[in-house]
Structure 1
């Protein structure tokens, strides 16, 4: 297998501190990746979508599922993306190319599903799935979000700022500037971005948690994050 190569939602986090975002690179051309691609296009971003091999193999998929996006190699999506979204199956995280993502703001939108991902020894040793991914991508500025919203809801649930029923999404990451940048992207996608703090807090966004299983506005999400414990090693 080839290697994969606007307004902040929480006070105290400066907007755009990792630089302006013009291009979103998406690694993964499945249902999640193409849904994020469509919404990113709607938000005005240039969108590049890649799978693990020849972009010609996904050109038709991208043309049909995310018209306006461009099918490219994984290296091109990583290199040109101001923000790079990981939407591949979690079991394939170790096919990513760490060097191509070094220094990049990377969004981990992946989840662990036992029935499809199987046993993962690396996950058993990590406090959270995102910390496992970060350990494999030590140079990436990893941020956890977009995993706790269904791919079919990414487009249907977006709302303009200030609307009372606007859905909120949590954003967790150890790099404060990267977190701020991703929060701005989340806001532009049509959601209230809530600062969840360090990457370890991403465990509170995983399948089976109250945050993952529900649809929350800002106030409700902030309450859930306040009550969520920071996990110890599994």
Structure 2
């Protein structure tokens, strides 16, 4: 069940692409229906989340802190007092927040998924404070195409935030030399990175050092992704 701030009717095309098991709803309807509620929204909008309505829900936090790309700055994030997921948890005190599905882009989240046992199946991290909630999200991630490694608590989730070794780059394809900018973007959309094993994911998490300053930057992302992001922001559409 999908929802957004603009209303169910604006999701008709996407629902049609996803098939007969998908449907659009209001935000309140989606929250009420979901055992898992994913929030792939800009972190700057986190206070718009209806805290009371999410009480008791397992909330998949897909937000990332990018102060460079928005007008949103947070002293508690900049100082390292809280991680972005802890900030979400503080806003949703009665929900069970789990950090997941945040460290690769919207396109590769679906494009990289592979069945269990497939040689190209890759591994994503998860972090959270509630063991049962984290296990539920882990099972969901495995069901939709990913192996999973536990990155610890929400306080430790800085290890999987922007500008850390497991963020974005391992899941992006290496772009060959000699391509035009348009060819680079197309190649990026049509290929995946090398699969990351559980052991490799654990190593990437363990060797992380907390970035300084805290928060991601466009310079820390694959150039082809940045180019696509900027064109989408201007109203362009990409299909693979």
**1:163-218 alpha-carbon deviations (Å, 9 max, x no partner):** 34321000100000000000000001100011112112221111111110323221
1:220 is aligned to: 200
Verify: 1:92 aligned to 2:45, yes or no. yes
Verify: 1:79 aligned to 2:32, yes or no. yes
Query: How far off its partner does 1:136 sit?
Result: 0.6
Please give the alpha-carbon distance, in whole angstroms, between the structure 1 residues aligned to 2:156 and 2:201. 13
Rate the CA distance shift 1:151–1:53 in 2: closer, same or farther, 3 A: closer
1:129 is aligned to: 84
Q: TM-score, normalised by structure 1?
A: 0.72
SS of 1:72's equivalent? coil
Rate the CA distance shift 1:49–1:207 in 2: closer, same or farther, 3 A: same
Identify the match of residue 62 of structure 2 among 109, 113, 120. Answer: 109
Normalized per residue, the structure richer in strand is 1
Please give the alpha-carbon distance, in whole angstroms, between the structure 1 residues aligned to 2:112 and 2:45. 28
Q: Give the conservation status (yes or no) of the 8 Å contact 1:83–1:106.
A: yes
SS of 2:133's equivalent? helix
SS of 1:78's equivalent? helix
> What does residue range 160-171 of structure 1 map to in structure 2 within 5 Å?
160-171=115-126
The root-mean-square deviation of aligned C-alpha atoms, in Å, is 2.1
1:49 is aligned to: 2
2:160 is aligned to: 205
1:173 is aligned to: 128
Query: Which has the higher relative contact order, 1 or 2, with Cα contacts under 8 A spaced 6 or more apart?
Result: 1
1:189 is aligned to: 144
Please give the alpha-carbon distance, in whole angstroms, between the structure 2 residues aligned to 1:220 and 1:59. 37
Q: List runs of 5+ in structure 2 lacking aligned partners.
A: 172-195, 215-240
SS of 1:84's equivalent? strand
Please give the alpha-carbon distance, in whole angstroms, between the structure 2 residues aligned to 1:154 and 1:119. 25
Please give the alpha-carbon distance, in whole angstroms, between the structure 2 residues aligned to 1:80 and 1:166. 30
**1:89-142 alpha-carbon deviations (Å, 9 max, x no partner):** 111010000011110011001112224332322533543111111111111100
Rate the CA distance shift 1:146–1:159 in 2: closer, same or farther, 3 A: same
Higher mean Cα deviation, 195-204 or 76-85? 195-204
Query: How far off its partner does 1:158 sit?
Result: 1.3
Q: Give the conservation status (yes or no) of the 8 Å contact 2:151–2:159.
A: no
Q: Give the conservation status (yes or no) of the 8 Å contact 2:164–2:209.
A: no
Q: List runs of 5+ in structure 1 lacking aligned partners.
A: 1-47
Q: TM-score, normalised by structure 2?
A: 0.70
